[in-house]
Amino acid sequence: MEHFSPINYATRVWVSGNYAYIADGSAKLTIVDFSDPSNPQYVSTFNTWYYVIDVHIKGDIAIVCDFVEGLFFADISDPLNPSYISHKSLYEMSWGIDVEDTLVFVGHYTGGDRMINFSNICNSVEIGKYDTRIWFQQYLSQRIMCT
């Protein structure tokens, strides 16, 4: 292992065991070993296509939220060599995620909240969506009418 280079724009950190999984805005998930906290070591990087905004670790799977490209699923059973499993494009600006069992809840900057079932990780499926834009549009129309 070598010392890690500075993170460009850390947006989220998930800790599992002796590893920190850092969502680095520059299209990558950076893995750091901090078993010696006074001397953290760079381990590896998993690259996405655009801008990593969030990460959630579930067992040996990293669920990586790319701001533009949606969800990436990576096998992190070997932190030195994280590998691509699959990708779920969401075509909107994904802002953050939370995971419960085999569901990923994705918050979107403009497109509402989505629920993705990844029980078949190679073919994840959107099973629900709550459109938050409706509330915002109603709010705007009330504001316009009051001015």
pLDDT of residue 19: 96
The C-alpha R_g of the chain, in whole angstroms, comes to 17
Quote the CA–CA distance of 118 and 88 in Å, as a whole number: 9
Q: What are the boundaries of each domain within the chain? A: 10-146
Report d(CA 39, CA 33) in Å as an integer. Answer: 9
What's the confidence (pLDDT) of residue 6?
A: 60
Which CATH class for the 10-146 domain? Answer: mainly beta
Per-residue model confidence (pLDDT) at position 101: 92
Mean pLDDT per block of 10 residues along the chain (147 residues) reads 61 92 88 93 91 93 91 96 94 83 85 86 89 57 46
